């Protein structure tokens, strides 16, 4: 604050102030202020009065008039405050100290015109303190300090820009801190006064607080107090009588579907609510009304059984009125959740019994109505008699006419007669017949009934004379049975036939057997294999009735079985001949006879002759029997030598006569009592000479039934073998 040079250097100008005579041109009465040792004079230019120290005096003419160096008085005294006094010869002038400027805006002045030094406002010059600084004007000076948001660097406040190296620099807050669940949306800078704006992250919603942060003078971000909350719709609202189909999720997009509780139905409104991005469930305004089916509708011809409740599950039952029957289905309706009576589909139709039942030979007395309760009466026609207890019928609730216990029976007259039968019992409508003694019922019903037509239906009973079931049993053709069957034609009878055979001539002989025959024939026939010359007893039993008829049959003597001879030609008087015996021979009564026939001329041989087997019988021809052998005494194979000179069955087997030719014939004979059967066979040809025989083939089978011709040695002969 001491006086120093200011920013403005005053050019020193010598200003000669001449004492001017006061001439009243100045407004201010200067003259009055003139010093005692001064005079008031007009200014030389006539522009007013001035106070001039009297000569020799040095002074300002008003306050001071002193002699000599004015400046020595002191600048403050002579020039005023904040001045410097510059003495000049005989005068002086003033200049302002640094930081001040004269009020007359002249570089130098003499304060006698009122000029003084006043403070200079340096701060009027902008930018004097530099960026971010503020200028403070002082008395004769100024200083600088930093604005808000700026901080001094290189010195301290206050500072002077020309004298200090200090300066102001803006405050920098740096990057703003992050805010939870939000993102930095924009930032204008990081220095003082900068603004950062935050927004909530997706899925979060702003709840409260400041979105912006501002960089403060203290270098800190202020603000951004925003609170972001996760979007959640929380629990969906509960609506009356409605349930929720909700999986518990309250995030945006989740849905809840409302449905009406049991007993309530959805009568309107929206049943869907969605969680929106602003955390609200969209409006669901489902309207659930209590189900009420109201009064059920009546069904035609039906009675309603209803307890007057019409909520869900309430029931109403229908029952057809009397005389009506339900031909439909359900007879119960239930109040459904849809608010409707459902289920009954009955259809009550009037019961009709239709036409009354027809009764034979009865007249109907009927009104023609088939309704329940209608009645019909019956009355038998003329010529019929009435039986039964109830002659009327009523149409019942089941749609049927009641049964009528009424018969109208025709009158048939006397009971019919059946041949060989008698009536056991009868009333007017039924007669029972029975065969008289000695007859049996053959077939047919034994009851005659009086028919509706008034005629008897005769019993079909046939009475036949009682006969044995096996009748007229006979044996025919030796082996076969035939009899008459007494039975129903269509019946099949099983017959058991047993037979046993015996022979007087063969004590140990046994033959017998059993056969069954199943037959429907009236005259059954059965052929057996009966052995010859046997007395048989044959029984035929009808097994169903166990009736047995017996017959005897004596089989006849059969021709003997042919022996199997080996035909040979011999040239010796004692030829040995061979045979195989047939096993079917009747051993006890069978004999073999060997005949010798000398060959001469035309020969005939009768097998049946000579019939006699007696040795004594005389043979008239040249032929003779040379041996008789009982068959039972030989085996199945037998050799016989002709002319061995032995006796066979009282026949002498004589030697053949030499030089002659013979035929040897074997005769088989069956003889029982007076009956006899024989069979002959040519056994051999014998040449008792020395001739050589030329033999044409003549087999052992050359047995002859009736006749055989043999040609030998150029002449012919014939012989006959006759089997008796």
- The footprint of ligand NAG (CB under 6 A) covers 36-37, 199, 206, 210-211, 247-249, 254-255, 257, 259, 266, 271, 278, 280, 305, 317, 319, 331, 365, 377, 379, 391, 424, 427-430, 432, 434, 446, 503-504, 533, 535, 552, 554, 576, 578, 637, 639
Residue 552 exposed, middle or buried by CB count within 10 Å (0-12, 13-18, 19+)? exposed
Neighbours of 398 (CB within 10 A): 11
DSSP 381: P
Nearer to ligand NAG, 56 or 659 (CB): 56
CA 136 to chain centre: 104
Alpha-carbon span 311 to 386, nearest angstrom: 63
Which runs of E-coded beta strand occur in 277-351?
Answer: 287-290, 302-306, 315-320, 324-326, 332-335, 341-342, 348-350
C-beta closer to ligand NAG: residue 157 or 511 = 511
Distance CA 519, CA 99 (A): 178
Nearest approach, Cβ of 278 to ligand NAG (angstroms)? 4
Q: How far is the CB of 230 from ligand NAG (least distance, A)?
A: 15
**Residue among 606 and 644 whose Cβ is closer to ligand NAG:** 644
Helix or strand or coil: residue 111? helix
Q: Give the CA dihedral 247, 248, 254, 256, nearest 10 degrees.
A: 70
Q: Which is nearer to ligand NAG, 17 or 304 (by Cβ)?
A: 304
In the complex, the smallest distance separating the C-beta of residue 445 from ligand NAG, rounded to whole angstroms, is: 6
Least distance CB 447 / ligand NAG (angstroms) = 7
Min dist. Cβ of residue 268 to ligand NAG (A): 8
Checking DSSP bridges between strand 590-598 and strand 661-672, what pairing results, if any? antiparallel
Q: In this structure, how many other beta carbons lie within 10 angstroms of the beta carbon of residue 274?
A: 16
In the complex with ligand NAG, the residue whose CB is nearer, 511 or 606, is 511
Closer residue to ligand NAG in complex, CB, 206/547: 206
**Nearer to ligand NAG (CB atom), residue 140 or residue 252:** 252
Write down the least CB distance from residue 698 to ligand NAG, Å.
Answer: 19
CA distance 599 to 716: 11
Report how far residue 236's alpha carbon sits from residue 272's, in angstroms, rounded to the nearest whole number.
11
Shortest distance, CB of residue 269 to ligand NAG, whole angstroms? 8
Residue 175 CB: number of other CB atoms within 10 A? 10
- Select from 714, 685, 715, 687 the least CA-distant residue to 697: 685
Closer of 13 and 365 to ligand NAG (Cβ): 365
d(CA 130, CA 147): 11
DSSP one-letter code for 77: H
Report whether 558 contacts 571 (CB < 8 A): no
Beta carbon of residue 496, minimum distance to ligand NAG (angstroms, whole number): 22
- Compute the least distance from the CB of residue 557 to ligand NAG, in Å: 8
**Nearby residues of 723 by Cβ (< 8 Å), 6 or more positions away:** 559, 607, 608, 677, 678, 679, 680, 705
In this structure, are residues 605 and 665 in contact, taking their beta carbons and an 8 Å threshold? Answer: yes
| Residue number with CB closer to ligand NAG (153 or 385) | 385
CB nearer to ligand NAG: give 262 or 430: 430
The distance of closest approach from Cβ of residue 503 to ligand NAG in the complex, given in angstroms and rounded to an integer, is: 5
């Amino acid at each position: 604050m001491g006086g120093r040079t200011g920013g403005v250097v005053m050019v020193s100008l010598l200003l000669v102030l001449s004492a001017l005579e006061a001439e009243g041109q100045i407004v201010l009465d200067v003259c009055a202020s003139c010093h005692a040792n001064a005079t008031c004079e007009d200014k030389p230019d006539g522009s007013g009065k001035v106070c001039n120290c009297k000569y020799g005096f040095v002074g300002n003419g008003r306050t001071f008039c002193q002699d000599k160096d004015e400046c020595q008085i002191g600048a403050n005294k002579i020039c005023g405050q904040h001045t410097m006094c510059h003495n000049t010869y005989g005068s002086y002038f003033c200049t302002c100290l640094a930081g001040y400027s004269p009020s007359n805006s002249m570089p130098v002045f003499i304060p006698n015109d009122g000029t003084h030094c006043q403070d200079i406002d340096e701060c009027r010059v902008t930018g004097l303190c530099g960026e971010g600084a503020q200028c403070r004007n002082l008395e004769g000076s100024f200083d600088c300090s930093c604005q808000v948001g700026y901080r001094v660097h290189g010195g301290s406040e206050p500072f002077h820009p020309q004298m200090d190296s200090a300066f102001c620099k803006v405050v920098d807050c740096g990057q703003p801190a992050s805010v939870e669940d939000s993102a930095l949306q924009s930032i204008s800078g990081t220095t003082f006064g900068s603004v950062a704006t935050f927004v909530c992250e997706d899925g979060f919603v702003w709840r409260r607080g400041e979105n912006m942060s501002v960089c403060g003078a203290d270098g800190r971000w202020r603000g951004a107090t925003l609170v972001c909350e996760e979007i959640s719709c929380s629990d969906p609202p509960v609506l009356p009588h409605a349930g929720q189909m909700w999986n518990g999720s309250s995030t945006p997009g989740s849905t809840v579907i409302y449905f009406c509780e049991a007993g309530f139905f959805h009568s309107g409104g929206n049943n869907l609510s969605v969680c929106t991005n602003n955390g609200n469930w969209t409006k669901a305004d489902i309207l659930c009304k209590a189900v009420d089916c109201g009064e059920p509708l009546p069904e035609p011809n039906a009675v309603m059984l209803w307890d007057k409740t019409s909520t869900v599950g309430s029931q109403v039952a229908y029952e057809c009125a009397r005389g009506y029957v339900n031909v439909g289905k359900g007879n119960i309706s239930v109040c459904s959740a849809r608010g409707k009576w459902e289920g009954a589909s009955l259809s009550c139709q009037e019961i009709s019994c239709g036409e009354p039942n027809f009764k034979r030979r009865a007249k109907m007395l009927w009104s023609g109505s088939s309704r329940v309760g209608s009645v019909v009466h019956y009355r038998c026609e003329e010529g019929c008699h009435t039986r039964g207890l109830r002659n009327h019928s009523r149409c019942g609730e089941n749609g049927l006419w009641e049964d009528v216990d009424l018969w109208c029976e025709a009158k048939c007259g006397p009971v019919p007669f059946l041949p060989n039968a008698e009536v056991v019992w009868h009333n007017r409508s039924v007669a029972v017949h029975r065969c008289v003694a000695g007859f049996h019922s053959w077939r047919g019903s034994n009851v005659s009934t009086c028919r509706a037509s008034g005629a008897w239906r005769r019993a079909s009973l046939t009475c036949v004379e009682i006969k044995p079931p096996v009748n007229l049993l006979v044996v025919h053709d030796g082996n076969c049975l035939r009899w008459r069957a007494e039975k129903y034609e269509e019946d099949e009878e099983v017959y058991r036939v047993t037979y046993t055979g015996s022979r007087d001539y063969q004590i140990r002989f046994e033959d017998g057997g059993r056969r069954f025959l199943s037959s429907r024939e009236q005259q059954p026939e059965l052929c057996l294999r009966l052995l010859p010359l046997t007395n048989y007893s044959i029984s035929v039993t009808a097994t169903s009735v166990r009736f047995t008829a017996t017959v005897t049959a004596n089989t006849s003597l059969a021709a003997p079985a042919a022996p199997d001879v080996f035909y040979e030609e011999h040239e010796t008087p004692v030829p040995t001949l061979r045979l195989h015996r047939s096993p079917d021979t009747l051993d006890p009564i069978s004999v073999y006879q060997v005949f010798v026939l000398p060959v001469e001329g035309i020969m005939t041989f009768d097998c049946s002759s000579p019939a006699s087997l007696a040795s004594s019988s005389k043979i008239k021809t040249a032929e003779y029997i040379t041996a008789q052998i009982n068959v039972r005494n030989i085996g199945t194979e037998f050799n016989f030598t002709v002319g061995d000179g032995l006796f066979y069955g009282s026949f002498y087997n004589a030697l053949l006569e030499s030089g002659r030719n013979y035929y040897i014939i074997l005769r088989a004979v069956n003889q029982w009592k007076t009956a006899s059967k024989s069979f002959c066979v040519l056994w051999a040809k014998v040449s008792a000479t020395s001739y050589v025989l030329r033999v044409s083939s003549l087999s052992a089978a050359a047995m002859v039934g009736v006749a055989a011709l043999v040609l030998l040695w150029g002449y012919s002969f014939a012989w006959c073998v006759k089997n008796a």
